Chain A
Amino acid sequence: MLDDLDRRLLRYLQADPQARISDLAERSGVTNATATRRLDRLADQGILKGQRTRINWQALGYAVEVSLRFTLDKTHANAMAEFQEAARAIPEVLAIQTFLGRVDVRLSVIARDLAHYQTLYREAILTLPHIAEIEALMHISTIKTEEALPV
């Protein structure tokens, strides 16, 4: 189980992923060796899985982001699996999430502009299999995005 020191290290690391071990150790009040050992142990336990780069899609010319929420036609036994398989083939899809609730699956989609989005929507999205209903939420702004866990 995690103790207070593990939690503190994870909190500081989530707040500042680029922090050096010496900074993390100092803020947690332990030696570099102790901090390193703890972080290694968290990695060995599969709790600390790694660091990924967040890509700024706007800097690459993708100005539009849309959340597409689908209800699927569940009379087909493999509706969900076939839908997911087809969605993976669309490069502009950043995430595929499945849900328990009114919405079955959600795709996070980016496009260069509204014209590009319209083309994507008609040619790639509407042709996905087993769609019963679609709702779109257009992203205006992101207010909080750390995705930090309150450890």
Chain B
Amino acid sequence: MIDLDAADRTILRALEADATLSAGALGRIAGLSQPAAWRRLQRLREAGVIAGRRIELDAVKLGFGVTVFLGVKLATKGRVSLEDFERAVSAIPEVQTVQHVLGLYDYRLRVVARDIADFERVLRRRIMLLPGVGDVEANVLLSEERRAGPI
């Protein structure tokens, strides 16, 4: 585990918002020279803190008007291979994220669709046909706010 000081935190916060910032730009934001910012950046990368980049697209402008979170319970636990379910669900293009969870449901899926009719198609023809799928609960996303987190 890596310890962060105030300058590291400033750099991480800036990078979280814009992954394309150069070491020079990060240095200006954190009040460091370009080489000093670069060294910190290297250290954060080597520690695995920077996991990668995410392209941010406007889903609505691209015609994806509906995002739904599904809680999925497997029907026959023990008899169904989790790997089979995970492989099949990950292959559905409309499924953006798959998380294995402990609680009321076994899996949590984030699904995008063009509209409610399109979502119904994905649900009936894709999700409900997955191996081992049991109870499914759907919640339609109304708003989403991502926070910077404890940095």
Contact surface of A with B, Cβ cutoff 8 Å: 2, 10, 13-14, 17-18, 45-57, 59-62, 67, 84, 88, 91-103, 106, 110, 135-151
Contact = CB atoms under 8 A, between A and B. Distances in A.
A150 B101 contact: no
B147 A141 contact: no
A150 B92 CA distance: 10
Contacts of B117: none
A62 B56 contact: no
Contacts, number: 196
B6 interface: no
B126 to A, nearest CB: 12
A84 to B, nearest CB: 8
B59 interface: yes
B122 to A, nearest CB: 10
B56 A56 contact: no
Interface of B: 1-2, 4, 12, 15-20, 47-59, 61-62, 64, 69, 71, 86, 89-90, 93-105, 108, 110, 112, 137-147, 149-151
A103 B101 contact: no
A146 B71 CA distance: 19
Among B54, B58, B151, residue most surrounded by chain A Cβ atoms (within 10 Å): B54
A91 B4 CA distance: 16
B55 A48 contact: yes
A139 B99 contact: yes
B52 A96 contact: no
A140 B100 contact: yes
A67 B110 CA distance: 13
11 contacts: A17-B52, A45-B61, A54-B54, A84-B145, A94-B149, A99-B69, A139-B100, A144-B97, A147-B96, A149-B64, A150-B112
A139 to B, nearest CB: 6
Nearest to A7: B62
A137 B103 contact: yes
B150 to A, nearest CB: 4
A143 B100 contact: yes
Contact of B144 (A17, A95, A143): A95
B112 A149 contact: yes
B57 A144 contact: no
Contact of A91 (B15, B59, B139, B150): B150
